[in-house]
Chain A
Amino acid sequence: MEYGLDKRSNVLKIFNTTFIIVWLLVACFPFIWTFWGSFKVRADFFSRADWWYAITAFNTLLETGGKFTTDAYSQAWTEGEFWKASRNTVIVTFFVVTISLFLGTLGAYALSRSTRNYAFWILIAALIFRAMPHITLVSGYLFPFFQLQIWGILPTTIIVLVAINQPFTLWLLYSFFKTVPKELDESALIDGCSYFQAFRHIIMPVMWPGVITAGLFSLMLAYNDFTVTALLLNQENHTMVPKIQSYLGTNQHEGNLMWAVSAVVSATAPLFMLVMFFQRQVISGLTAGAVKG
């Protein structure tokens, strides 16, 4: 803690710096290592003989003639049809974010402006829904979806992800709306606006930070989901995460492991860029629920 009166000892300073360096290594090294290894051939990245090969690229040199190779990427994206999976991910993510923000802002605004008891109970119900493991919900979906013959297609998955995402979005936006003073929309109402007009023209313009945060979290949920997409989509419509799992195969040595490695890097890179860009919003979102109550 950086307090003016506080004289920190050098020992403590060194200890603190060491701890942070060790932790950052633990947190980041696996990603750096995977990124590095994705440009090698399998015999180097998963080397039984000598792990040092992964650095000297012994087999990569032998097999491809260079120290780095992008073979795994080009094969996964074309032969492995990872382009299709990433296209599906883009579609699913785009619609999930748009629809859940639309539903979420309306609902959360109503919750934040209602003084009735039921608003409290709805928030509690949302908390309980948030706690439901997704796989238990999926086991409820599968049978009716088979019967209605809407299993396997993208729209079903999109609407399911929107619904699963609602409890969290509601809580997040609710705590943001609470910080917007009531007087703002009340004065608009007195001037003859309807509730919807007040919401649309007065509240939404000042709500952008909250909406961006909620959007980021919807995006991360849709982008990262495995449980729902793996079980509710057919092979053709798989998004990136279930696709990565399908590269693994039942036995590690059968599936094309390097495809999975390059696919993991391809799927993670955009997410990291996004978070780097929106870091402030991600953190404010995670703390909104906690600090503001």
Chain B
Amino acid sequence: MPNKTFFWFFLPTGLAMILFIGLPIISTGIQSFYAQHDQVVKEVKKCDPFGCTVSIVVDQEKTSKIREEKPLGKFNGFGTYVDRNHLAIEEIGKFWNETNSFGEFVDQVTNLPFYKALIFTLTYCLFVTPNVLLLGFIIALSLNAVTRRIRGPLIFGTILPMIVTPLVGSLVLFWMIDAEGIIGANLQMLMDDPYLSLKSSKTLTWITIIIYGIWHHSPFAFVVFYAALQTVPQEPVEAAIIDGASRWQRVRHIVLPHIYPVVTFVALISLMDNFRVFEPIIGFSAEGSAQSLSWLIYDNLVNEEVILFGSAAATSMMTIVGIAILLAPVLIRTWKEFRTAR
């Protein structure tokens, strides 16, 4: 296709992506170097029969004027990146000097908002992704063994958790496992502990959200693996059966190598999706004990007094760096393949 024709065909979608994905990333980058204005204060002298007092109050007029003139805020350089709510360089230095043991130091650092969120996000990715691959593969294998006639409805049932939006999915589960729901109430009875509830324990909350993640993402892995299983060639499998290979040996040495490229694809996609975990935290109302990077940004953006654009943008930029690190191995590999292919 000639370049000119390509240009006109690609222009609409290219424009949409540049305007609403490319530019916002740049805009986020610029915003992250600014911080909201401080309030302008003035001294007010108040006199009464007993003498005069000077008090400091916020000058509303001047504050709103300066906000209108420079809506982006004041230039802050990398200030937002290193402040207490983000990388907290100063605090970490302080903790390093003041704490006695390494454990105590780690404890202090992981209580800082950014590191807390980072650790939750990574833990979530680390536990959900492999389990999603495993469960998806097992479901695919076992559905593949069922008679063809009833597979349709079974597949429909299997993909239900995936097609609902994460907020709805997590709400539906939350209503069951909450202290007043069917599972939560029964657990309380079983454990004989009337105060046992999701919100009371940080570990329980984390486990619940991770289980939700596996529940929500496994159907995707299942669908892809199931389709890949349909393409496994029959001859080697039959040969293996004649040679007396066990079921496990066949899966291990014939099926797995065949679907290996698909496994990396699923792993990559679910890693990308898990890194942005955010809606389940709202669905489970788990803000208290589990915060993810995306949730931090959301929290800044719905701040009631003044939207913390700078803070949200700084977290966003660091999230993008995180995504880049996750994607780097794949991109490098693709580039190498592309170069050798030429």
Q: Which residues of A contact B (CB under 8 A)?
A: 1-6, 8, 12, 16, 19-20, 23-24, 26-28, 30-31, 33-34, 37, 45-48, 50-51, 54, 102-104, 106-107, 109-111, 113-116, 119-120, 122, 124, 126-144, 146-147, 159-160, 162-164, 166-167, 170, 195, 199, 220, 223-227, 231, 241, 244-245, 248, 252, 260-261, 264, 267-268, 271-272, 275-276, 279, 282-283, 286-287, 289-291
Which residue of B3, B20, B228, B300 has the most chain A CB atoms within 10 A of its CB atom? B20
Q: Which residues of B contact A (CB under 8 A)?
A: 1, 3, 5-6, 9-10, 12-14, 16-17, 19-28, 31, 71-72, 138-139, 141-146, 148, 152, 154-161, 163-168, 171-173, 175-176, 178-182, 185-186, 215, 219-220, 223-224, 226-229, 231, 234, 237-238, 241-242, 247, 262, 265-266, 272, 275-276, 278-279, 282, 285, 293-294, 297-298, 300-302, 307, 309, 312-313, 315-317, 319-320, 323, 326-327, 331, 334, 338
CB A229 to nearest CB in B, in angstroms, measures 10
Q: Please measure, in the bound complex, the distance between the C-alpha atom of A113 and the C-alpha atom of B156, giving whole angstroms.
A: 35
Known: A16-B142, A226-B165, A264-B171. Contact between A129 and B1, CB under 8 A? Answer: no
Contacts of A195 in B (CB 8 A): 1, 5, 9
* CB atoms of A51 and B24 under 8 A apart: no
A-B contact pairs, 30 of them (CB 8 A): A2-B144, A3-B237, A16-B146, A20-B143, A24-B154, A30-B173, A34-B172, A46-B175, A46-B180, A103-B16, A107-B14, A122-B10, A131-B323, A132-B323, A133-B293, A137-B21, A139-B31, A141-B27, A142-B307, A143-B31, A144-B27, A159-B16, A227-B279, A252-B178, A271-B164, A279-B159, A283-B226, A287-B227, A287-B228, A291-B262
* CB atoms of B215 and A135 under 8 A apart: no
* CB atoms of A167 and B23 under 8 A apart: no
* CB atoms of A268 and B265 under 8 A apart: no
Contacts of B172 in A (CB 8 A): 30-31, 33-34, 264
Q: 7 shortest A-B CB distances, which residue pairs?
A: A140-B24, A163-B20, A110-B9, A107-B13, A224-B165, A133-B276, A287-B227
- A114's partner among B1, B24, B157, B276 (CB-CB below 8 A) is B1
Contacts of A279 in B (CB 8 A): 152, 155-156, 159
Dominant secondary structure of chain B at its interface with chain A: helix
Known: A27-B160, A109-B9, A291-B262. Contact between A19 and B142, CB under 8 A? Answer: yes
CB A133 to nearest CB in B, in angstroms, measures 4
Which residue of B5, B167, B294, B323 has the most chain A CB atoms within 10 A of its CB atom? B167
* CB atoms of B10 and A107 under 8 A apart: yes
Q: Please measure, in the bound complex, the distance between the C-alpha atom of A21 and the C-alpha atom of B231, giving whole angstroms.
A: 26
Q: Please measure, in the bound complex, the distance between the C-alpha atom of A31 and the C-alpha atom of B74, giving whole angstroms.
A: 49
Contacts of B219 in A (CB 8 A): 27
Contacts of B334 in A (CB 8 A): 124
Known: A51-B181, A109-B9. Contact between A1 and B145, CB under 8 A? Answer: yes
Contacts of A147 in B (CB 8 A): 71
CB B340 to nearest CB in A, in angstroms, measures 13
Known: A20-B146, A135-B297. Contact between A226 and B185, CB under 8 A? Answer: no
Q: Please measure, in the bound complex, the distance between the C-alpha atom of A19 and the C-alpha atom of B234, giving whole angstroms.
A: 25
Contacts of A111 in B (CB 8 A): 10
Known: A107-B13, A114-B6, A264-B168. 10 other contacts (CB 8 A): A27-B219, A51-B186, A111-B10, A114-B1, A133-B323, A143-B27, A146-B71, A224-B165, A287-B228, A291-B262
* CB atoms of B142 and A287 under 8 A apart: no
Contacts of B146 in A (CB 8 A): 16, 20
Known: A106-B12, A287-B224, A290-B265. Contact between A267 and B168, CB under 8 A? Answer: yes
* CB atoms of B23 and A140 under 8 A apart: yes
* CB atoms of B316 and A287 under 8 A apart: no
CB A194 to nearest CB in B, in angstroms, measures 8
Contacts of B276 in A (CB 8 A): 133-135
Closest B residue by C-beta to A274: B163
* CB atoms of A231 and B302 under 8 A apart: yes
* CB atoms of A166 and B16 under 8 A apart: yes
Closest A residue by C-beta to B320: A136
- A129's partner among B17, B167, B178, B278 (CB-CB below 8 A) is B17
Q: Please measure, in the bound complex, the distance between the C-alpha atom of A159 and the C-alpha atom of B21, giving whole angstroms.
A: 11
CB A92 to nearest CB in B, in angstroms, measures 14
Which residue of A5, A45, A140, A276 has the most chain B CB atoms within 10 A of its CB atom? A140
* CB atoms of B20 and A106 under 8 A apart: no
Known: A16-B142, A135-B278. Contact between A110 and B10, CB under 8 A? Answer: yes
* CB atoms of B156 and A141 under 8 A apart: no
Contacts of B331 in A (CB 8 A): 124, 128
* CB atoms of B227 and A163 under 8 A apart: no
* CB atoms of A275 and B1 under 8 A apart: no
Closest B residue by C-beta to A110: B9
CB A4 to nearest CB in B, in angstroms, measures 8
Contacts of B14 in A (CB 8 A): 107, 122
Q: Please measure, in the bound complex, the distance between the C-alpha atom of A28 and the C-alpha atom of B72, giving whole angstroms.
A: 48
Q: Please measure, in the bound complex, the distance between the C-alpha atom of A109 and the C-alpha atom of B227, giving whole angstroms.
A: 25
Closest A residue by C-beta to B139: A23
Q: Please measure, in the bound complex, the distance between the C-alpha atom of A286 and the C-alpha atom of B142, giving whole angstroms.
A: 20
CB A284 to nearest CB in B, in angstroms, measures 8
- B31's partner among A134, A140, A261 (CB-CB below 8 A) is A140
Q: Please measure, in the bound complex, the distance between the C-alpha atom of A116 and the C-alpha atom of B3, giving whole angstroms.
A: 9
Closest A residue by C-beta to B189: A51
Which residue of B14, B17, B179 has the most chain A CB atoms within 10 A of its CB atom? B17
- A1's partner among B25, B144, B178 (CB-CB below 8 A) is B144
